[in-house]
Amino acid sequence: MNIQTEILPDHHAKLTVEVEPVELETYQKRAARKIAQNTRIPGFRPGKAPYNMILRAVGAQAVMEEAVELWVDENYSKVLDDTEVEAGAPGRILELPSFDPLTIVFLVPLEPTVKLGDYQAIRAEFNSPETTNSEVDEVIQRIQFNMATAEPVERPAENGDLVYYQISGTLTNPIDEEEPEVYPQRNVQTIIGGSSMDPDDWPFEGFSSQLAGMSSGDEKTFTHTFPAEEEDDKLQGREVQFTIKVESIKSLTLPEVNDELAQSMGDFDTLDALKTDVRQRLESTARDQYESDYFDGLLDRVVEEAEIHYPDEILDEEVEHVLEHLQGDLARQNMDLDTYLKLINTERETFIENEVKPAARKRIERSLVISELGRQENISLAESDMDIVAGEASYELQRLIPAGKKNRPNQDIIQAVTMNAMSRVRNRRILERLKAIANEETPVEEIENDETQPVSKSEQSTEPEPVMEPKALEKNESADRPEADEKA
């Protein structure tokens, strides 16, 4: 077997393999016997016809095709071993330029490569946000509004009233064939003056003031120009004509903020107990969001400075993963992808190119960078991590198999879930190491292993602070993919 190797610029290897004639003849005879098992040749039992009779019955081309298939099945991995080519995805036969001698040209996607930049020099201070008293008070106010009683009134709407109305909005100057309707008619309710119940004052700040002074049945049309920094790029700097029609007005009577209000919310004896619970929840949410954004930023910087190469096949596979996740999310909302694409007024190919592929690239690059960071920092799971892995795997299995179901997950599912949990825990350890580097801190494990530094028992037993994995299209980040997927 003679092999020529050519590494292509698109991160593929072109392997030209010439098979020895004697070896090919052996495979041709095996191929003929295999074909004869399923081919009726007059005068012979299945598989017993002579080689020449089989050639005459089915043709030399059919025998050659079967011989090539047998040879590839049994020798492809040996070709990779002999050439020391690391495949990142299944290869394929590019062409068969000759049958005498048999020459097979393989196109092999190469293993992704990552060359990290100077990530040790990255600095980003970690400052977990603090929850203020005003934020706690806003939640209490929201509870107060949710517990309010509403009574219809026959008067113009005033500040603090709950107003039910219809709203629609169209662009005043649509461009070319642009669809002018940007806010299809819908029913909405708003508290005039805003509150923590609707802090964004949708669809723009100060909108609810347009309702003040209107009575039930009144209709009003006005225009609003959105700022250039508007989040929705379709509305940036655009003038929209709104039409609103008031359907009903209700006056809100708010309950007093006291122990009785707290007790109505659950297992809280006092208002202070409710506020403590609210503060803890706000702190947890704010910390999780901060950590998610923080690690997103760190990873983006590492990715930006890294040299990452991978073949298109890996991107195509990740695109399918992203689409599968999206279709799963849509199915839970009783919607399919085609309906969703119609709602956002785009074609499938355009959506994949503009939305799915960028998300897939980001997932791949982050996954590869995290994996390479783990290798360079020599991070592996400790024995103490196994309890965390077991807990996460158990939770995931319970989610997959609802309570009351008698069927148990098979071994393959258990193994896959466990591997996913191990990958997530290891990725969190890698991100914690990156955080320690960015804050010029000594990693916890290095402190514990340094016998020259006295460490108290309480410090030794302290687990690293839990972290969030990076956000994902962008939901489902590559950080939650099993390491088995990293090589595609």
Q: Which tens digit of pLDDT belongs to each residue from 341-368? A: 988 889 999 999 999 999 999 999 999 9
Decide if 116 is inside a domain.
no
Average pLDDT over residues 15-43: 89
Chain mean pLDDT for the chain: 85
Instruction: Please compute the mean of the pLDDT values over residues 105-124 and round it to a whole number.
Output: 95
Q: Clarify whether residues 347 and 234 are in a common domain.
A: no
Q: Work out the average pLDDT over 197-215.
A: 81
Query: pLDDT band at residue 197, thresholds of 50, 70 and 90?
Result: very low
* Residue 358 structure tokens: 């960028």
Ranges 16-25, 132-141, 168-177, 471-480: which has the least confidence: 471-480
At residue 390, φ and ψ (nearest 5 deg) are: -60, -40
The whole-number pLDDT of residue 400 equals: 74
Q: Is residue 304 part of a domain?
A: no
Considering the domain architecture, whether residues 371 and 441 belong to the same structural domain is answered as yes
Where does a domain end: 233, 253, 273? Answer: 253
CATH code of the domain containing 167: 3.10.50.30
| 103 lies in the same domain as 157 | no
Cis, bond preceding 203 (omega within 30 deg of 0): yes
> Do residues 107 and 155 both lie within one domain?
no
Q: How far apart are CA 68 and CA 31, in angstroms?
A: 9
| 217 and 321 part of one domain | no
Please give the torsion angle defined by the CA atoms of residues 58, 60, 65 and 69, in that order, rounded to the nearest 10 degrees: 90
Asked whether residue 345 falls in the same domain as residue 472, the answer is: yes
- Residue 140 or 39, more confident: 140
Q: Which domain-ending residue is among 58, 88, 111? A: 111
Q: Are 374 and 426 in contact (CB under 8 A)?
A: yes
Task: Decide if pLDDT at 179 tops 50.
Answer: yes
**Can you tell me the mean pLDDT for 276-293?**
95
Q: Is residue 298 part of a domain?
A: no
CA distance 303 to 371: 12
Confidence check: pLDDT of 472 > 50? no
pLDDT class of 232 with cuts at 50, 70, 90: confident
User: Does residue 270 fall inside a structural domain?
Assistant: no
300 part of a folded domain: no
pTM above 0.75, yes or no: no
State residue 470 phi and psi, 5-degree precision: -60, 155
CA 158 to centroid of chain Cα atoms: 45
pLDDT average, residue stretch 22-42:
88
Q: Is residue 78 part of a domain?
A: yes
Max Cα distance, the chain (Å):
102
**Judgement on whether residues 106 and 47 belong to the same structural domain of the protein:** yes
Regarding whether 153 and 107 lie in a shared domain, the answer is no
Q: Is the pLDDT of residue 399 over 90?
A: no
Name the least confident of 118-122, 202-206, 280-284: 202-206
Mean pLDDT of 239-263: 94
Compute the average pLDDT of residues 180-207. Answer: 79
Higher-confidence residue of 224 and 452: namely 224
Same domain, 102 and 172: no
Question: Which of 270-274, 381-385, 465-469 shows the lowest per-residue confidence on average (mean pLDDT)?
Answer: 465-469
My answer on whether 99 and 174 are in the same domain is no
Tell me the average pLDDT across 152-175.
93
Least confident of 36-40, 99-103, 241-245, 399-403: 399-403
Q: Tell whether 322 and 435 lie within a shared domain.
A: yes
Other C-beta atoms closer than 10 Å to the C-beta of 238 total 20
Tell me if 136 is assigned to some domain: no
* CATH code: domain of residue 63: 3.30.70.1050
Span 165-193, mean pLDDT?
A: 91
Other residues' Cβ atoms within 10 Å of the Cβ of residue 407: 6
Tell me whether residue 272 is in a domain: no
Q: Which residues, in sequence order, are CB contacts of 94 under 8 Å at separation 6+?
A: 14, 105, 106, 107
| The pair of three-digit structure tokens given for residue 81, joined into one six-digit string | 């071993």
Number of other residues whose CB lies within 10 A of the CB of residue 70:
16
Task: Check residue 254 and report its DSSP letter.
Answer: P
For residue 452, name the pLDDT band (cuts at 50, 70, 90). Answer: very low
Q: Which of 111, 141, 170 is the C-terminal boundary of a domain?
A: 111
Q: Give the number of C-alpha atoms closer than 13 A to the C-alpha of residue 370, restricted to the C-beta side.
A: 35
Q: Is a pLDDT exceeding 70 seen at residue 266?
A: yes
pLDDT of residue 476: 37
* Residue 311 banded pLDDT, cuts 50, 70, 90: very high
Give the angle subtended at the CA of 427 by the CAs of 299 and 360, to the nearest 5°.
55
Residue 11 has pLDDT above 60, yes or no: yes
Cα–Cα distance measured from residue 7 to residue 67, given in angstroms and rounded to the nearest whole number? 27
Residues of the domain holding 342: 311-485
Query: Within this chain, do residues 318 and 176 fall inside the same structural domain, yes or no?
Result: no
Instruction: Count structural domains, the chain.
Output: 3
Query: If residue 324 lies in a helix (H) or strand (E), which one and from where to where?
Result: helix 312-332
